[in-house]
Every structure is written in structure tokens, then in C-alpha cells.
Structure 1
């Protein structure tokens, strides 16, 4: 499904475009005038022009819709590709697609089949096991869709963030993951080789971490032996940057992840925040529509914030509360903030990361069923946070530029 960001005047211009103009050379004065008139929507107009790969690299970026983390960590890649002159198409589904549309309203967006992941129980084996047929079907479907898009939109390359079906043998396809060694209770022996078979379909595997162990992801990405010679550590991916901001909030709660656990965590935190003297802001992670309200004099609630808005809020907040997803941790590393990490129940990756980082006294870990905001904030005095600047936020640039040049 296409999402067209034209306004009324631009739509009239687009409708006046003739087939001859579309199929003509890019140097056509008429076509160039059309692109100039479109202004901010020119990237979408270029989809309909036949340009040589020598003058334009067209890249599809497809993050998984499993919370917002996979989409948010693709934002710096999207920005960098635009700066490098690439023509970028975005693809995902659900809240992740909504977020990308809000961040990049001028870029074309495509809708992929949904995995429809839910975490109804604290058991990862049960949660994923019973949804596995649907997930595998979605992977097969998305691969068929991507193969069509490669030809239809003349793609030059694909960056797939944890979408196992978003590859094509006809163009260079890169898989982005921080989990080279997935942790699944009792089934790691089966799951790991299976996922490596999927990853083997890609030309390269990019890990958003430093190569020197233990890095930020610990054992999830670092082990004695890499699963493939095509693995490359590219440095962390974060949309956040650090600068001075005037203090405004005591606590920022950043919510994300699959339902119903997202809503359960929000409710438990709200119940405790209501009786706290501290000033809170809750960012719900609901990207369907933007709403803002106060549930009490000390609790401000917003459905979602753009990257720039969120960056400003987090920098003006003393303490953060969030899930222990890897994308959230990369953002915390960029900001140097202290945080209470609450793993999604049954999501073993988040449980591992919360343990791994709290043991180093970077953050405080609390379980969802045993939340205590007051105690958590007291415990933060014994933590350091990840020192701001410890991990370079632009290390991926040379890797991305080299990849683009070689397409």
C-alpha cells in the first residue's frame, strides 16, 4: 500500500503528469520542472521516473514492527542515506510504519505483511511457539512482496532490520540485528541454527554494536566464534544526541513493545506515579494519532513524540523509566542518562540485557510484577549510567557510505 504525502495543489500537479513525461529521460525540462514544483515530495516523484543506477541508488529500509525499537534505530540510517544522495523507500507495518511516516512525511512508505506479535504470557517459548506458523507465513509473504518491489521500483539495495523475508538475490541485501546468539530457554540449540539459515540469505549482517567484547549487547552479539564471515560490527544506532536542556521533568516514562504488556506496564506505573510528589511525563508509544493531556497535576501524557521532541524531553528529565530493549539502551548510551529498566515479561533478550547492564551498575533493573518507583529512584544513586560519549554515534557512517557506493 502506498502512502501519498501530497497536498491538494501538489496532487493536481501530479495528476497532470503524462505517461510520456514519466517514461522520459530524467534530464527532460518538463519532468525536472515537475519535480521542482513538488518540492518536499520529490523523493516520491522520483519513484515514477526511470533513472540510471549510475545516477541514483534506490534503497529500501524495512524494520520489524515489534514495538518501536527496530524502526527508531533505522532513523539515523535513513537520515544518512538521504545525506548521501540515495533515494529511500520505507517499509513496515503497524505502529512502526506510523512512526516512520511521522518522522519522514516526505518519503514514500510501503506496507509489509504483519507478524502480529503478542506477549500474552511470561513464557517466551509459549508466546512465540503458538504464533510461529503465522510468523513464518508472514516471512514468506514479505519475501514475495519484496521480490516484486525490487523490479517494480528498480531497487538498488535493501536494509532489513530483523525482517527475515526482506531480501532478494537480485540486489544487495543487508540484515541488521544485535542478536547473533538468540537466547531461548531450552530451544536455543534449535532456534539459533534455524535463524542462521534465514540470515544466510543476506549478503551481509550488520550488528549495531562495537566489535570489542562485551560491547553494549554482551553475549547477544559477542561470542568466541561469529556465526558468519559476513558479520560486520557497525557501531551503535541511535536517533538521540546530547546537548544542554533546562530541567523540566523528574521522571520520563518511555513505553513501547507488544501488547498487552505495554498497557499493563503503563497502568502499573500510573498507579504509583499518582501518589508521587515527582513530576512525570509518560510517552505511550502509540503512533496512530498524537494526543496530549494531563491525568493529574504531576502527570503529563503524550501518545508519541517525534525523535527531535523526544530528544528534548529526555534531556530535560532527571531519570528515565523504560523497557530494556536494545534500541532504548543505545539511546540511553547516547544521552548518558540514568534509568530504571523493566524487561518485558518472557522476553529473554530484554531480561538478559537488564541483568547484564545492572550488574555493571549502569542502570537499575526491576521486574514488572514487583515495580517500586520510589525504591528504584533511590537505587539510582548507586548507578552511573553509561558515560556519555563512551560509544560513538556516527561510527556506522563509513560502512553505510561504502555499501552505497558499491551498489
Structure 2
């Protein structure tokens, strides 16, 4: 049974996918907007995504959903094969979350659903929104097929919100822009939990890790070795959600297991350069903060590889393969412009009208 935080307010279930931290963190501005518009958000997820949102919103009710248990192959070239192998497990998890959502709706007066890439979190009884920046699901020669499969799932929802702009000036490129789509689309603008603030630069490099194992750990181990003798000041965030925050100092590096939004916003603003994966949420965050960056896409993950390549070709952010990274690569930064925010304000009142229909 989900207990509402406030009485006499419509309750909206917000359910991000637990695949790294990106889906959860980009739901933070949506959850804040729901609260500001007198809705009661109920958090629904699992694993580190649920842990992060419970830390960000300790006073909100939450419910744990079945886990997709997504992991990556150790070798990037086997990424697609690993996904295919795990597909029966994924389908089972989607069925389990559909059952869980049915139970939640039957036992609690939920008035609407916002699902960030959780394919089974919808209901025909109440307005259901799907959030994705991947209208085209890149998978190499099977892109057409993976896109059609994804579209079949999204058709179960009332509307799809795309966290990007519709026009030529956009962040997602061909990922979020498609010629034909069979359900209503709303481009809601890039989502970020952060605000740009004037700050003195005190960190030379901020290393920001996230994403499923084992690739998160493989990159962490590589970067710890590479930066061992780096002369500048480094803040290293492992992207591991634990009960308590831990901080350790290794020479020039200050290592955190995780940071909450307020501290992370401050740290990014105070850092000259961010080194990270090229996940779409990270791209949106760094654009909002007008940051110089260097991207190392997760090996074999077509979406991240596409975003990194696109931003490099646009002379915005340099990037390289994981196995090719060395400290010398950072010398390329000056030849790139860095990411810039768009002048776009999300109209949440308009978006949330869907939940007012009887």
C-alpha cells in the first residue's frame, strides 16, 4: 500500500529505469515540478536508482519494483549478444513490473504514471506517460528492428515525452528525432537537475562515473591508474550508491562513492573539465552548466558511441574509446567549444494537464 505524502492531491507514480543513474537523475526536475504544481509524486524503481531518489526526496513515499538486472558484457563487441541473451530475463521483469503496477493501482489511488524507460509501467485506467530520448534505438544493422520493438512497447502509453528540442538545434540528434511515430510525441526540452552558478574553479578534473557493471568498474580501475601521477587536482566520483557517503584522499585525488545533487552541482560548477561516459543525461547536465568535457562511451553501447561521435564531429566535446584513453588525450580539450545550454523553459503546467482529465 502506498501512503500519500499529502491529502487531497493527485498522486503521480514516477518510475525511472535502474540502468546507471541517468534515468533517475533526470526525473528529479520532474518530481520537483510535480510538487510545485500540487501533485504528490510517488517514487517507484529499484536498486541504485531507487536509493538515489530516496536520498533526494526522503519525505516522499516510494515503492520497489522488480529489477531488470541489466549488466554489460566485459568485451564491448559482445554488447548486443549479451542483450539478446538477457532478453528472456528482461521480458520476465517487464511482466513482473506490470503485475506490480496493477497491484499498486488497485490498492492505492494513483492518478497518473510517468515512466522513464520502464516498459511495463503503464495502465489503461489512468494517464500514462513514457519518457525516452531514444525514438531510434541504435543497434547497428538491427536498428530498424530494435526501433520497431521499442515502438510497440511505447504504443501502450498515452504520450511519449522526449527530453530534447524538436528543431535542428538539439542534443540527441537522430536518437530523438524520427520521421514517423505512431503515438503522440511532446518535445519537453532537455532535463537537468542542475543550475549554472558563478563559481571559482578549484578542480582541474572531475571524473564522473555511472552505469551498469562490469564496465563501470573497468573504467574506474583504468582511470585510477591513469590519474595516479596527475599533477592537477582531481575529484573522482565512483557512482556507487551506498547508505553513507565515503570520502578518501589518494595523493592528488579526492574520491567519493557518490554525491547528492546539491554537492554534485557545486562540484561540477567548480571544475574546469568533466571526464565521464557520454550518457544522454550527462550530456544534458553538462550542457545546462556550460561545461568542457571529455567523453569515454561505454564499449559496445551504440547510443553512447553515437552521442560521443556526434559531439566530437560538431567540435563540442572530444572523445575516444575506453582502451585508447591516456592522460595525453586531455590535451585535445582546447580545440573544442564545450557544451552549451539551450534557451528552453519546460512548460510543466501544460504537460501535467494530462493528469487533470477525468
Q: Equivalent of 2:131, from 161, 176, 179?
A: 176
* Residues 293-312 of structure 1: pairs in structure 2 closer than 5 A: 293-312=247-266
1:285 maps onto 2:236 in alignment = no
1:78 maps onto 2:17 in alignment = no
> Which residue of 2 is the match for residue 395 of structure 1?
346
Secondary structure, counterpart of 1:187 in structure 2: helix
Q: Equivalent of 2:211, from 253, 257, 281?
A: 257
1:100 maps onto 2:53 in alignment = yes
Contact 2:133 2:164 (8 Å CA) reproduced: yes
1:275 maps onto 2:229 in alignment = yes
CA positional deviation for 1:167: 0.2
Listed one character per residue, the Cα deviations across residues 55-86 of structure 1 (whole Å, up to 9, x for unaligned) are: 42110000000000000000000000001110
CA positional deviation for 1:297: 2.5
Contact 2:52 2:241 (8 Å CA) reproduced: yes
1:221 maps onto 2:176 in alignment = yes
> Which residue of 2 is the match for residue 237 of structure 1?
191
Q: Equivalent of 2:329, from 351, 357, 376?
A: 376
1:406 maps onto 2:357 in alignment = yes
CA positional deviation for 1:157: 0.3
> Which residue of 2 is the match for residue 64 of structure 1?
17
Secondary structure, counterpart of 1:257 in structure 2: coil
Listed one character per residue, the Cα deviations across residues 322-344 of structure 1 (whole Å, up to 9, x for unaligned) are: 10000000001100000000100
TM-score for both structures, normalised by structure 1: 0.84
Superposition CA RMSD, Å: 1.6
Secondary structure, counterpart of 2:41 in structure 1: strand
Gaps of 5+ in 2: none
> Which residue of 2 is the match for residue 361 of structure 1?
315
Contact 1:289 1:303 (8 Å CA) reproduced: no
Secondary structure, counterpart of 2:218 in structure 1: helix
Listed one character per residue, the Cα deviations across residues 129-175 of structure 1 (whole Å, up to 9, x for unaligned) are: 11100001000110111011112111100000000000000000000
CA positional deviation for 1:391: 4.3
TM-score for both structures, normalised by structure 2: 0.96
Contact 1:234 1:399 (8 Å CA) reproduced: no
Listed one character per residue, the Cα deviations across residues 228-276 of structure 1 (whole Å, up to 9, x for unaligned) are: 2411111011001101112221100010000010011011111011111
Larger Rg: 1
Contact 2:196 2:269 (8 Å CA) reproduced: yes
1:344 maps onto 2:298 in alignment = yes
Contact 1:174 1:202 (8 Å CA) reproduced: yes
- C-alpha change, 1:195 and 1:358, in structure 2 (3 Å) is same
Contact 1:125 1:185 (8 Å CA) reproduced: no
CA positional deviation for 1:192: 1.6
Q: What is the distance in 2 between the residues matched to 1:147 and 1:198?
A: 17
Aligned residues: 356
Q: What is the distance in 2 between the residues matched to 1:100 and 1:294?
A: 24
Q: What is the distance in 2 between the residues matched to 1:277 and 1:391?
A: 37
- Structure 1 segments, 4+ long, off by >6 Å, are none
* Residues 39-188 of structure 1: pairs in structure 2 closer than 5 A: 44=4, 46=6, 55-120=8-73, 121-122=75-76, 123-188=78-143
Gaps of 5+ in 1: 3-42
Q: What is the distance in 2 between the residues matched to 1:406 and 1:324?
A: 38
Q: What is the distance in 2 between the residues matched to 1:273 and 1:396?
A: 43
- C-alpha change, 1:398 and 1:87, in structure 2 (3 Å) is closer
Q: What is the distance in 2 between the residues matched to 1:257 and 1:45?
A: 31
